Amino acid sequence: MLKTHSAVGVLLAASTSFAMAQTDTQQPELEQMVVWGTEVRASSVYMDSSDIAIRQADHISDLLRTIPGVDVGGAHSMNQRITIRSMDDKDLRISIDGANQNTYMYHHMGNLQIHADILKSVDIDVGTNSVINGGLGGAVRFETKEAKDLLAAGEHFGGRIEGTVSDNSSNSVSLSAYAQLGSKVDLLAYFNHVERDNYEVGGGEIKDSEGEVIPGTDGTVRGLEGELNDALIKIGVDLTSSQRLEFGYETYSDEGDYSYRPDMGLATDLAITNSLNVPLLWPTEFTRDTYTLNYDASIGSRTTLKAALFRNESTLWRDEMGWADNPAYEAWAAIVEGEAQNTGFNLLGETVLGESVINTLTYGVDVTQYKTNYTATYVGGAVDEAGEEATESAVFLQDRIELGMFAIIPGVRYNEYDIESAIVTKTYDDVTTALAAEFQPTDSLQFRVSSTELFKGPDISEVFVGAGLFEDPNPELDAESGRNDEIAVAYGDAILGADQFSVGATLFRTNIEGYIYQYASPVMDNVGDMEVTGGEAYIGYDLGGLRTLLTYSDAESELDAYAGYEEFQGARIDRQQGDTWSLNLDYEFANIDLQLHYDLLMVGDVSAGPDLDGPTLENSKDGYTVHNVSLQWAPTDGLQITAGVDNLFDEFYASQSSRTGVSFHPRFGELYLFDYEPGRNLKATVSYQF
C-alpha cells in the first residue's frame, strides 16, 4: 500500500479526498493519515515532532490555512470561521470529540470556538465524498487530548506546564496533569489561560479603502483585548481489552470589551460608532460547555464500533446598555443573551466480510437536536424572548468491495430533518447515494473517482439577533440538494533521489440545487443553483532531515439564479478566495534535537464581480503573501523551547475568507469592511513535561 509521511498523507486524505471519514482501523494505510500537521503514533505526545507545537498556534488559522482548499477567516478570537472550497462553516460538519458544533449564533462571528493548544488532532474532509457525513462542503473533526496518549509505557503519572509570550498577539499559560489509575482507568485534567491584546496591523498603520491612514488611529486594532479560558477533564475506562468508555467535559470562555461586529474591522466600527455616538467597545462573553461520552469496541477481529453521546451548550452574552449613551437609542439599551444547545448521538461501525472478495461494510446512525433561546432585557423593563428547534437524523450504509487492484464503494444514506422556526415549520427527508471507484495498479500509484449526492435542510435562525423573533415566514422554503463529483490521482515512492517523493491532484465540481440565501428579499429563500468548481494539488519531497511540501488550490463559484432573483445571476459565494499556494519546509537536526520550520502562504487577487452577501461598492479582493518561521529545541528530556516570527515581513492584509471590500450605508456612508490581520508577531514558548 502507498506509504506517505504525515503531512503528505493528510493531503492524500484531504485534498485528494481518498479518506472516507472512517476511523483509522477502517481504512487502508493510504487513508489513515487524516490528522493535519502532526505525526500520529500509538504512544505519541502532541509535542513530539509536532507541527502544531512548532507553529505556537493561538488561533485555528495557524493550523489550517496551509491545507489546500481550506481557510479560516476572522482575525478576532470570536470569529474563527472555517471555510472549505469557499463554503463557510454553516455548510460544514464541525465536531469536537464527536459533539456537533454547528450553532449559528451570530452572523458577525464564526461557528467554532476552541483554542488550538487543547487539540490532539484535526481530521478534515475537503468536500463531501461519502454517505458517512452529511452537509454540503465537508467535515472538520477536532479531537482533544487524552491521558493514554500522553503516558509512556510503564508510566502512571505525568504533567506539563507551558508558557507563551508574544509582542503583538497574546500571552498564555497552560497546565495539565494525567495519570493511570490502576489498570483500567486513566485521567486527564487540563487548563489553558490566554490574555489577548489589541494587536498592531502590518506596516503599523490602519488604512482605509484608499490606502490613507484613518484619522485618530495609531496602527493598533481596538476591540480585541480579552481573556480566554479553556479547561478539559477526561476520564477513560478500559472495560475490557477490546472495549473503552471515555467521558469528557470541556468548558470554554472568551470574555472582554469587544467590538460590536467582530468580523467587520476597526474602520467600519469607528464609522458606525462615531456616527451614532455610542461606545466602540461592548462587554461581551461567549461560553461553551461540551459533555461527551464515547464508546469504542472491537468485536472479534473484523468488527469495530464507535459511539458518541453528547451535549453542547453555547451562550453569547453582551451588555448593550451603551445604547443609552445616545438618548435617541436609549430604548435599545438591554442585556442580550443567546443560547444554543446541540444534543445528539452518533454510531459508526465497520465489519469486514469475505476472503477472496473483501467487503468492508461501514454503517451508522447520526442524530442531532438543535435548540435555541433568545432573551433581551431592556432598560425600561420590557423583555423579548424567542426560541426555535430542529432535529437532524440519518442512517447510512457503505460497502467497499475490493477486487484485486480495483475497489468499488457504493453507499446510501437516509436523511430526515424536522424544523420548527419562525421561517418554516416542516419535515424534509431524502435518500442520497454515493459511488466511488479506486484503481491501484502499483503500491505507489492510485486513481479515484467519486460522485456523492448532497442534502441539507434550512438552518434555524441565528440566535443572537432574536432566534427568529424578527424573521418573516417562508413556508415554501426547500432543502438544499445536489451532487459533488471528484477525480483524483496520487503517487508516492522513493524516487528522484528522495527518501519519499509524493504528488497528487484533485479536480471537483459541486452543484448545490436550491441554494439558500439568508438575505434574499423579502425573506430567506432558494435563489438558484450554485456550482463550485476547482481543484487541489500537492508535491512533496523528503530527504534525510528535510521535509518539503508545496500545495495549490482553487475554487470558483457561480449562481444560476431562479426567476425572480435575476439580480443574483452569476453571483459567487462571498467567502471565495483567489488561487492559493502554500509552501512548507521543515528540517530536523536529530543529533541536537533541533527543528526548523518555514511556511509561505500566497493568495492571488479576486477581481470584482457579483456575489452574495458581499460589499456593495467594491468587492474585489487584494492578494497577499505571508511568511512564518520558527524553530524548536529540546535541550533536555521534557524541556522544549520554541521561538518564531509570524508574518515575518509585516504584510498588511486580511484573509479573503474574512470581511473585505467597501459597502455603502445610507447613514454611515462608505464602510471599509476589512478585518485586519496581525502584523509581525514574535513568539516564544517554553514547556516542560514530566
Concatenate the DSSP letters of all residues of 500-565 into one string. EEEEEEEEEEEEEEEEEETT-SSS-EEEEEEEEEEEEEEEEEEETTEEEEEEEEEEEEEEEEPTT-
Q: Where residue 113 falls among pLDDT bands split at 50, 70, 90? A: confident
Whether the predicted model's global pTM rises above the 0.85 cut: yes
Q: What is the pLDDT of residues 176-201, one digit of tens each?
A: 999 999 899 999 999 999 999 999 99
pLDDT at site 59: 65
pLDDT at site 574: 92
Q: What is the pLDDT of residues 465-475, one digit of tens each?
A: 999 999 999 99
Q: Where residue 54 falls among pLDDT bands split at 50, 70, 90? A: low
Concatenate the DSSP letters of all residues of 328-393 into one string. GGGGG-EEEEEEEEEEEEEEEEEEEE-SSSEEEEEEEEEEEEEEEEEEEEETTS-EEEEEEEEEEE
- Kindly list the distances between the CA atom of residue 135 and the CA atoms of 9, 102, 341, in Å, as whole numbers in the listed order: 24, 11, 19
Sequence-distant (≥ 6) Cβ neighbours of residue 409 within 8 angstroms? 20, 130, 398, 399, 400, 401, 434, 435, 436, 437, 438, 450
Q: What is the pLDDT of residues 424-436, one digit of tens each?
A: 999 999 999 999 9
Res 287 pLDDT > 60: yes
pLDDT at site 194: 95
- Kindly list the distances between the CA atom of residue 193 and the CA atoms of 230, 284, 285, 641, in Å, as whole numbers in the listed order: 7, 17, 15, 19
pLDDT at site 27: 34
Q: How many residues does the chain have?
A: 690
What domains are there in the chain, each with its CATH number?
A: 6-689 (2.40.170.20)
Q: What is the pLDDT of residues 392-438, one digit of tens each?
A: 999 999 999 999 999 999 999 999 999 999 999 999 999 999 999 99
Among 105-119, 186-200, 323-337, 482-496, where is mean pLDDT lowest? 105-119
Q: Is 165 exposed, middle or buried (0-12, 13-18, 19+ CB in 10 A)?
A: middle
* 571 within 8 A of 531, measured Cβ to Cβ: no
Residue 569's φ and ψ, nearest 5 degrees, are: -55, 130
Mean local confidence (pLDDT), 637-665: 93
pLDDT at site 52: 53
Q: Which residues pair with 307 in a beta bridge?
A: 295, 347
pLDDT at site 360: 97
Res 35 pLDDT > 70: no
pLDDT at site 12: 30
Q: Cα–chain-centroid distance for residue 196?
A: 21
pLDDT at site 39: 33
SS3 assignment, position 292 = strand
Tell me the CB-side half-sphere exposure of residue 396, using CA atoms within 13 A: 33
Res 597 pLDDT > 60: yes
pLDDT at site 57: 66
pLDDT at site 10: 33
Q: What is the pLDDT of residues 552-578, one digit of tens each?
A: 999 999 999 999 999 999 999 999 999
Res 522 pLDDT > 90: no
Res 6 pLDDT > 80: no
Sequence-distant (≥ 6) Cβ neighbours of residue 133 within 8 angstroms? 21, 93, 125, 139
Q: Where residue 55 falls among pLDDT bands split at 50, 70, 90? A: low
Residue 296's φ and ψ, nearest 5 degrees, are: -125, 135
Q: Where residue 2 falls among pLDDT bands split at 50, 70, 90? A: very low
Q: What is the pLDDT of residues 357-377, one digit of tens each?
A: 999 999 999 999 999 999 999
DSSP 47: T
Grid coordinates given for 463:
440566535
Res 123 pLDDT > 90: no
Q: Measuring CA to CA, which residue among 258, 235, 266, 362 is closest to residue 318? A: 258
Using the structure block, give the residue that is written with the C-alpha cell 461540551: 290
pLDDT at site 58: 64
pLDDT at site 16: 32
Distance CA 425, CA 279 (A): 39
Supply the Cα-derived Rg of the chain in whole angstroms. 25
Sequence-distant (≥ 6) Cβ neighbours of residue 658 within 8 angstroms? 73, 74, 75, 79, 81, 263, 675, 677
Res 31 pLDDT > 50: no
